Amino acid sequence: MSMKPTEPHRLREAWILCFLLGCIMLNYPFIHIFNKADTLLGIPVLVLYLLVGWPVSILIIWFFSLQLGRSDDDTGRRDRGAP
Amino acid sequence: MISVKLVALVTLGYLGLLFLVAYYADRKHEQGKSLISNPTIYSLSLAVYCTSWTFYGSVGRAATIGLDFLTIYLGPTLIAFAWWFLLRRMVRISKEQNITTIADFVSSRYGKSAYMGGLVTIFSVVGIMPYIALQLKAVSQTFDLLTLPPPQRSEGLGHYLPQLPQTLDTAFIIALTLALFGVLFGARNLDASERHEGMVAAIALESIIKLVAFLAVGLFVTYGLFDGFTDIFGQFLHDFPERIHLLLIDTEQIPYITWFSLTFISMMAFMFLPRQFHIMVIENSDESHIRQAMWRFPLYAFAINLFVLPVALGGLLLNGGDTSQADYFVLSLPMQTGHYWLGMFAFVGGLSAAAGMVMISSVALATMVLNQLITPLILKFRIVVDNYYLILLNLKRLAIFVVVFLGYLFYRAIGESYALVNMGLISFIAATQFAPGLIGGLYWRRATRKGAATGLILGFLVWFYTLIIPSFVRSGWLHSAILEEGLFGIRLLRPLELFGLSGFDIWSHSLFWTLFFNIGAFLTLSLLTAPDEREREQAEKFVGVYTGSLLPKERQRISRAPSILEFVDLMSKFIGEKQAHAAIADYLGDREATIDQHGSLSEYELPNLKRFTERTLAGSVGAAAASIIVENYLSTRGSRMEKVFDIFGSVTLSRTSSREQLSVLYEAARVVASGAPLQTIFDNILELLIQQFKFDLVVIRLLDQDSMTLTVRSQKGMSSEHFGHSARKLTMETTIGEVFLTNQAIVVNDTDELKDKPQTSQIVHREGILSFAHAPITMEGEPIGVLSAFSKSVRGIFTEEFVELFTSLASQVGVAWRNNQQTRDLIAAREQQKEMEIAKTIQLSLLPQATPRIEGISLAGLCVPAREVGGDYYDYLERADGNLDLVVADVSGHNVGSALIMAETRTFIRARASKLDAPDQVLDALNRFFYDDLTQAELFITLVYIRFQPETGNLVYASAGHNPPLVYRHASGTIDRLDAEGLILGVRPEVTFDCCRDRLEPGDVLLMFTDGLTEAENRAGEFFGEERLVQMLIDNRHLQPQELIETLLQQLRLFTGSQNFRDDISLVVMKRES
């Protein structure tokens, strides 16, 4: 998969979007979808949702931090070079 | 059950191991290697967030209340999305400002306010008390759990050491041990940067231990005691179907609002708990580590929570649903099943979790107490101590103990009645109170100290009222009436239903009201109040940390400034001599160029040194205290920071000053170029200076060559005998003299500091001058005068930029002076040229105006002077006897003198020649007449004189050293030279001239010329020469004389390659017609 280095400000907007999405998916009413007494594969649905959703969000952060590594290498260096 | 000795030994051994790791890391750091400067260690150190609350409390929460234990870790996972801009910004600012704690951070943001710092410190200490209490409770209870049989557990350590007083329980010993280690890790010395590599290394190791321990217990319970996740869930749902709420939210105990509140609180707590701030921001060694930590820490949190639910449910299953020991299932399950070593390992894990938190918290809080409370107080009451360093160090150690024991007191007061998680949440909401002022301060320039402080105070009061008061009631300290009937019996003031807000859980209720008042006051007061100057400056540094400041750079100077050494002494007092010297060496290293010949920094550099000193001290004592220290120090010396008068008016200095400078310079250049008289130009430039910069007096002095003094040429502003009128001698005793002699501008921004020139000093003081500047007026780099400006109203008026401008203006004055000189020269030259033109006109009029018309001959003549006037002359004279006299003469030189002699020659010939019979007599008479004049003028004349008889064609001629005329013989087609002996006129008084005869036959051509013709040079330096002339005469013999002359000149120009000739050229051509 080829990833195009993204501009820093677009990345930042993506961060904010992910943050908001995370907040929404962890709260009412979204979480209400999974708040059921059923089990799936022997595990309560809500527990399963959280135990799967959590690593997924970590994966997303990881993915973005890779992007940061690409696009921010330049700006990072420039930042450090500033007086 | 494990023997108490073993547990004590393992505990101390483990703490000892941590200490060794820390010690090793510190040693490596001193050698310049960093063990901790990598993203992995950084991420692990952030896991200090996971305390014994996580280790024990989560399971307890999961077993009793339900899934909301997860929110404490989901919050930080969410906020991790914001780290790249929020956390990175905090780290960047802290590094730039040498921030030491969160209190320091807030205080710095709001104008380095000691008051603000103190406020945050007090609230932090109070707010963290329950949290430390939680750790002490967890460790002491697990210690007892591990070592005592159930009946004696309430006796604690007293069971083994009955001689101990009753009040000293296990928690006390634990508190003492942890405080001691806190001192060892965090306060062995006062670090200038407040970074503790050793402590961070120990924390990272602890994070690994507690994770491994918890995973071990989790795996043991899940796969050892049960058959995996599905087995536990299945059994649980089968055995306790009524407890299905533990696996759901939106239950009675966890409504959605609680879920949301807890997520939010933990986000804020993760960012703003003092120890989190310390480990994330202060101990961060590289901003780029944040990028890795953003996903590594959430991964850690996920891992440590993975088995919480299985352990909790497993514990319930194994204990028949009994929740009384739910907080310690992690430890009790291995013990219950006889796996003592796993229990021991779990204990060490829990100890790690607690010890890490207590150490970092106590060190961070102690630093805060020291920097934000004690030091400002010492400074405020001016307690004079010889060695602040030792005092401060010991106070810091003491503060660590105090912080830990405050936690112990809280534990004793209410610890027994609260579950672990509930105690922690009280602290979390306390930390949340820092969020508005801090986040607002990071992004909002308008946020003011008054707003932030009021918000914080209100937030904490409400926090205390809605959380601490209820906990006091629960522990029996206060009567429950206040909960039920409200303060003073006012029902609206019931702490758990404040202002009638009911139906909320205690956390959401408290969170709402604290933030309502906190944010409300923060926003309102920030909008209503204006930040003072210092706040504005700091706000700019925080908000504009990436963009650079939008405010004009503040210009300051220090009056009676301390020397570099004095600054070093000041620093030594607080951070020790070694560090002070290292710091200053580092600072001066980059600035060698700015050190002047006296070994001190320039006036403009000193405020920077002051700022540097402040920053260095801030790393040790916090920004507020550092600023007080430096201000106090300066004020006791009588030094003062003075704002530099913004000489360019309201326009900001840093970015647009060049434009302002340019406009003034442009105006000056316009004045100079105006072509006005010099005096007007001088006056106008001075007028411009006065208008633009409001000086009291400006003067131009120029060197008077005769008296060798600098005399006043123009002055504007106040009238002053001493400044405005008097001349200055060229000595080094006056500043003006020095400026001229050294050709260097001198600026005195404070005349009080003028010591080495008593004469100047005296005059200056008599006139009430506060500051002045002189710049040399130069012409081609050499000084010709001095431009001076004086101010009676402002000290420190002359900034670096202004001096630059002032020097440029002085050189403009020089340009005006030079222009004036050149104009004068030019006028003189023009006048001379005009005279020459006149002379030329006169001279040309002396040459024959027309050629005589004589039958049988045609005649033409021409004189081309090399300059305006020349020494060549030719003439035709028609004699009464019908003869025609032809003269060609060449006076040496091409100047006016030559022209005069030529005119005189003409006059003489015209007057006398008709009376003389033969050409040789004419020459003889000429020589006699001119000898004296020519000798005197050092000139001489060559001349050829021919008398021609038109009827016969006979010629009589004589020559005075002149080029022999040429004759073209029509009959033979050859050329003859009319050679006659005779010396140049003006060489000897008595000369004999030959008189020769010849004859022109019809068709013959006579050519008389001056040496300007034959000696004309081409580019190669060759003469035109007689040969070429002869050839040309032959070639063009058929031409009429006028045409012949024109052709000759044309050929000559072709030969020389130039329009003008270097010497005068005269030609006379006569042709006898056939």
Give the residue-averaged pLDDT of A45-49. 89
A to B CB pairs, distance under 8 Å: 101
Burial of B417 (0-12, 13-18, 19+ CB in 10 A): middle
CATH number at residue B691: 3.30.450.40
Taking 90 as the threshold, does the pLDDT of residue B512 lie above it?
A: yes
> Looking at CA atoms only, how far is residue A42 from chain B in angstroms?
5
Contact B250 A35 (CB under 8 A): yes
B427 Cβ contact list (under 8 Å, min separation 6): B127, B128, B129, B130, B131, B134, B269, B273
In a domain, B831, yes or no: no
Measured between CB atoms, does A33 come within 8 Å of chain B?
no
In a domain, B842, yes or no: no
> Looking at CA atoms only, how far is residue A3 from chain B in angstroms?
18
Other CB atoms within 10 A of residue B218 CB: 23
Comparing CB atoms, the residue among B263, B299, B309 nearest residue A47 is B309
Taking 80 as the threshold, does the pLDDT of residue A30 lie above it?
A: yes
In a domain, B218, yes or no: yes
Measured between CB atoms, does B303 come within 8 Å of chain A?
no
Contact B233 A44 (CB under 8 A): yes
Using an 8 Å CB-CB cutoff, list chain A residues near B291.
65, 68-69, 72
- pLDDT for B69-110, tens place per residue? 999 999 999 998 888 888 999 999 988 888 888 999 999 999
Let me know whether B883 and B911 are in one domain. yes
Comparing CB atoms, the residue among B247, B256, B260 nearest residue A44 is B247
In a domain, A1, yes or no: no
Comparing CB atoms, the residue among A28, A51, A61 nearest residue B294 is A61
pLDDT > 70 fraction of chain B, expressed in percent and rounded = 91
Comparing CB atoms, the residue among B77, B237, B248 nearest residue A57 is B77
Contact B77 A55 (CB under 8 A): no
Let me know whether B303 and B405 are in one domain. yes
Comparing CB atoms, the residue among A15, A27, A79 nearest residue B259 is A27
Let me know whether B592 and B730 are in one domain. no
In a domain, B728, yes or no: yes
Let me know whether B736 and B588 are in one domain. no
Number of structural domains found in chain B? 5
Contact B295 A58 (CB under 8 A): yes
At B696 the pLDDT is: 84
Taking 90 as the threshold, does the pLDDT of residue B913 lie above it?
A: no
> Looking at CA atoms only, how far is residue B258 from chain A in angstroms?
10
B882 residue type, one letter: G
3-state DSSP call for residue B1037? Answer: coil
In a domain, A43, yes or no: yes
Using an 8 Å CB-CB cutoff, list chain A residues near B82.
15-16, 19
In a domain, B840, yes or no: no
In chain B, whose CA is at the least distance from the CA of A17? B81
Using an 8 Å CB-CB cutoff, list chain A residues near B74.
26, 50, 54
The chain-wide mean pLDDT, for chain B, equals 84
Measured between CB atoms, does B550 come within 8 Å of chain A?
no
Let me know whether B913 and B874 are in one domain. yes
B363 Cβ contact list (under 8 Å, min separation 6): B182, B185, B186, B187, B196, B199, B278, B400
At B882 the pLDDT is: 84
Which tokens hold the place of B793?
Answer: 């109203």
pLDDT > 70 fraction of chain A, expressed in percent and rounded = 72
> Looking at CA atoms only, how far is residue A31 from chain B in angstroms?
9
In a domain, A3, yes or no: no
- pLDDT for B789-800, tens place per residue? 888 877 777 777
Taking 60 as the threshold, does the pLDDT of residue B439 lie above it?
A: yes
Let me know whether B520 and B620 are in one domain. no
Rounded-to-integer distance, Cα B636 and Cα B625, Å:
16
In a domain, A77, yes or no: no
Comparing CB atoms, the residue among B230, B294, B299 nearest residue A43 is B230
Rounded-to-integer distance, Cα B657 and Cα A10, Å:
35
- pLDDT for B969-982, tens place per residue? 988 889 999 988 88
Do the beta carbons of residue B889 and residue B959 sit within 8 Å?
no
3-state DSSP call for residue B85? Answer: coil
Q: How confident is the model at residue A64 (pLDDT cuts 50, 70, 90)?
A: confident
CATH number at residue B72: 1.20.1730.10
In chain B, whose CA is at the least distance from the CA of A21? B78
In chain A, whose CA is at the least distance from the CA of B245? A37
Beta bridge partners of B1005: B968, B1071
Residues 37-66 of A with CB under 8 A from B: 37, 39, 41-44, 46-47, 50-51, 54-55, 57-59, 61-62, 65
Let me know whether B348 and B453 are in one domain. no
Rounded-to-integer distance, Cα B480 and Cα B492, Å:
16
Contact B291 A50 (CB under 8 A): no
Contact B82 A16 (CB under 8 A): yes
In chain B, whose CA is at the least distance from the CA of A60? B295
At A68 the pLDDT is: 74
Rounded-to-integer distance, Cα B855 and Cα B596, Å:
95
> Looking at CA atoms only, how far is residue B616 from chain A in angstroms?
17
> Looking at CA atoms only, how far is residue B456 from chain A in angstroms?
26
In chain A, whose CA is at the least distance from the CA of B79? A19
Q: Which of B643, B674, B700 is the last residue of a domain?
A: B643
Other CB atoms within 10 A of residue B688 CB: 19
Cis peptide before B852 (omega within 30 of 0): no
| Domain range enclosing B618 | 553-643
Q: Which of B551, B568, B586 is the last residue of a domain?
A: B551
Q: How confident is the model at residue B1006 (pLDDT cuts 50, 70, 90)?
A: very high
Taking 60 as the threshold, does the pLDDT of residue A5 lie above it?
A: no
Give the residue-averaged pLDDT of B914-920. 84
| Domain range enclosing A25 | 10-71
Most confident segment among B245-259, B406-420, B578-592: B245-259
Contact B230 A41 (CB under 8 A): yes
Comparing CB atoms, the residue among A42, A43, A58 nearest residue B77 is A58
Let me know whether B399 and B469 are in one domain. no
Using an 8 Å CB-CB cutoff, list chain A residues near B256.
27-28, 31-32
Measured between CB atoms, does B77 come within 8 Å of chain A?
yes
In chain A, whose CA is at the least distance from the CA of B545? A79
Let me know whether B919 and B1027 are in one domain. yes
Which tokens hold the place of B198?
Answer: 């050793």
In chain B, whose CA is at the least distance from the CA of A36? B248
Do the beta carbons of residue B488 and residue B531 sit within 8 Å?
no
ipTM score: 0.85
pLDDT > 90 fraction of chain B, expressed in percent and rounded = 25
Number of structural domains found in chain A? 1
> Looking at CA atoms only, how far is residue A53 from chain B in angstroms?
10
At A83 the pLDDT is: 34
In a domain, B785, yes or no: yes
Q: What kind and span of H or E run contains B532?
A: none
Q: How confident is the model at residue B596 (pLDDT cuts 50, 70, 90)?
A: low
Instruction: Identify the sign of the CA torsion B374, B375, B376, B381.
Output: positive
Which tokens hold the place of A22?
Answer: 């995370």
Half-sphere exposure for B485 (CA within 13 Å, toward CB): 5
At B162 the pLDDT is: 58
Taking 90 as the threshold, does the pLDDT of residue B1007 lie above it?
A: yes
Taking 90 as the threshold, does the pLDDT of residue B422 lie above it?
A: no
Let me know whether B270 and B310 are in one domain. yes
Taking 80 as the threshold, does the pLDDT of residue B417 lie above it?
A: no
Taking 80 as the threshold, does the pLDDT of residue B858 lie above it?
A: yes
Q: How long, in residues, is chain A?
A: 83
Q: How confident is the model at residue B2 (pLDDT cuts 50, 70, 90)?
A: confident
Contact B81 A37 (CB under 8 A): no
Taking 70 as the threshold, does the pLDDT of residue B868 lie above it?
A: no
Measured between CB atoms, does B299 come within 8 Å of chain A?
yes
At B520 the pLDDT is: 95
In a domain, B222, yes or no: yes
- Give B491's DSSP letter: G
Lowest mean pLDDT among B182-196, B343-357, B873-887, B922-936: B182-196
Burial of B833-859, coded b for 16+ CB within 10 Å and e otherwise, reads: eeebeebbeebeebbeeebeebeebbb
- pLDDT for B777-823, tens place per residue? 887 778 888 998 888 877 777 777 777 778 888 888 888 888 888 88
At A38 the pLDDT is: 83
Q: In this predicted model, which residue has the larger pLDDT, B953 or B594?
A: B953
- pLDDT for B113-171, tens place per residue? 888 999 999 999 988 988 898 888 888 888 888 887 765 655 555 566 655 555 567 88
Most confident segment among B276-285, B407-416, B833-842: B276-285
Comparing CB atoms, the residue among B82, B237, B299 nearest residue A15 is B82
Let me know whether B247 and B211 are in one domain. yes
Burial of B818 (0-12, 13-18, 19+ CB in 10 A): middle
Best residue in B46, B69, B78, B256 for a mutation probing chain A (most A CBs within 10 Å): B78
In a domain, A81, yes or no: no
In a domain, A76, yes or no: no
At A75 the pLDDT is: 44
Give the residue-averaged pLDDT of B356-380. 87
Comparing CB atoms, the residue among B81, B249, B287 nearest residue A31 is B249
Rounded-to-integer distance, Cα B110 and Cα B441, Å:
8
Which tokens hold the place of B235?
Answer: 């059994």
In a domain, A33, yes or no: yes
- pLDDT for B645-690, tens place per residue? 444 443 333 334 555 666 777 777 777 777 788 888 888 888 888 8
Lowest mean pLDDT among B207-211, B273-277, B566-570: B566-570
In a domain, B841, yes or no: no
Using an 8 Å CB-CB cutoff, list chain B residues near A7.
none
B1063 Cβ contact list (under 8 Å, min separation 6): B866, B894, B1010, B1011, B1012, B1015, B1016
Lowest mean pLDDT among B437-441, B443-447, B743-747, B1055-1059: B1055-1059
B658 Cβ contact list (under 8 Å, min separation 6): none
Q: How confident is the model at residue A80 (pLDDT cuts 50, 70, 90)?
A: very low
At B723 the pLDDT is: 60
Using an 8 Å CB-CB cutoff, list chain A residues near B67.
46-47, 50
In a domain, A4, yes or no: no
> Looking at CA atoms only, how far is residue A4 from chain B in angstroms?
19
Let me know whether B341 and B214 are in one domain. yes
Q: Within its chain, how far is the Cα of B346 from the centroid?
A: 56
B72 residue type, one letter: I
Using an 8 Å CB-CB cutoff, list chain B residues near A32.
250, 256
Burial of B1030 (0-12, 13-18, 19+ CB in 10 A): middle
> Looking at CA atoms only, how far is residue A8 from chain B in angstroms?
11
In chain B, whose CA is at the least distance from the CA of A41? B230
